[in-house]
Amino acid sequence: MDYFLELFFGGLTRGSIYALIAVGYTMVYGIIELINFAHGEIYMIGAFTALVVAGVLTALGLPALAILAVALAAAIVWSAAYGFTVEKIAYKPLRTAPRLSPLISAIGMSIFLQNYVMLAQTSDFLPFPKLLPEIGFLKPYRAVIGTSEIFIILATALSCAGLTLFIKFTRMGKAMRATAQNRKMALLVGVNVDRVISLTFIIGSSLAAVGGVLIASHIGQINFMIGFLAGIKAFTAAVLGGIGSIPGAMLGGLVLGWTESFATGYVSSDYEDVFAFLLLVLILIFRPSGILGKAPTQKV
């Protein structure tokens, strides 16, 4: 039972991170129908920013909680800034271009950002400080669930709830839903579509940054390549849940996390990534629109 619970919470943690990144993919896809390949890199940049800021603050000798708060805030701010800039440079000039062009541009951006971080920082694995504090009374249960895992799960739940409320109840959220539904029509009724798209990138990038900082602190090391696999997995999660649907991305992340966790725990740890992709392929073959996605109607 303990083993099961360990895998359960391990999967939940992992899935939470996937969910945080997947939301960014799904929002962007919902609005401009683009697979934002550079999104994984934004997550990586978030983790690196937090590392740098935490390093400076530790040298200054600030208390642990303050370091966590400032590093997280800095990661969010800079990731959002990067997301915003990437959209302006690589995607905005391509709004009316053939559909594959922004995709290639995104792949180029992803290669550029990876190498930029490698050159600006280092190509080695860097140890990442334990930013998340240890809670005393949880010590006995450590084998089942660690403190950082609880933090990750809680932070994800909070972020997702916040995002859902924002989309549902604010004016800007309404504008986003309208743009996702029909961009041209939204433009006609006076929605500032450019601003909505920018905001989408900013929100998606911020959530990715939160995920990046939390998981980096949980695992304890980062490197400039971490964005790639995390990005692909998160995209898998987004497709799994039904791309374009925000609750779908969250659910997809969790399903993917659990699948990986249980499959590696009970079947074989060699094929960890194979399970993820196998799940994706099966879902797409039997339910192409994802778990929560609506089947697209084709107009003639």
Q: Which of the residues 82 through 101 are near another protein (CB under 8 A)?
A: 82, 85, 89-90, 93-94, 97-101
Residue number, 108 or 162, with CB nearest to another protein? 108
Paired with 127 in beta bridges are 221
Which residue do the tokens 């972020």 mark? 159
Residue number, 134 or 143, with CB nearest to another protein? 134
Among 74, 250, 255, 256, binds another protein (CB under 8 A): 74
Q: Which window, 77-85, 137-145, 160-168, 200-208, contacts another protein (CB under 8 A)?
A: 77-85
Question: Are 205 and 84 a contacting pair, CB within 8 Å?
Answer: yes
What is the torsional sign of CA 218, 223, 229, 235? positive
For position 296 contacting another protein by CB under 8 A, the verdict is yes
Q: Which residues, in sequence order, are CB contacts of 29 under 8 Å at separation 6+?
A: 35, 36, 238, 243, 244
Residue number, 9 or 48, with CB nearest to another protein? 48
Residue number, 67 or 203, with CB nearest to another protein? 67
Which contiguous run of DSSP H or E holds residue 221? strand 221-222
Question: Are 114 and 224 a contacting pair, CB within 8 Å?
Answer: yes
For position 81 contacting another protein by CB under 8 A, the verdict is yes
22-61 residues near another protein, rule: CB under 8 A: 29, 33, 35, 45, 48-49, 51-56, 58-59
Residue number, 110 or 156, with CB nearest to another protein? 110
CA distance 178 to 207: 22
195-234 residues near another protein, rule: CB under 8 A: 228, 232
Nearest distance, CB of residue 82 and another protein, angstroms: 7
CA distance 175 to 184: 12
For position 113 contacting another protein by CB under 8 A, the verdict is yes
Nearest distance, CB of residue 106 and another protein, angstroms: 9
In the three-class reduction of DSSP (H, G, I as helix; E, B as strand; rest coil), residue 121 is classed as coil
For position 70 contacting another protein by CB under 8 A, the verdict is no
Which residue do the tokens 């930029």 mark? 116
For position 267 contacting another protein by CB under 8 A, the verdict is no
DSSP structure string for 184-232? HHHHHTT--HHHHHHHHHHHHHHHHHHHHHHHHHHH-EE-TTHHHHHHH
For position 270 contacting another protein by CB under 8 A, the verdict is yes
Length of the chain: 300
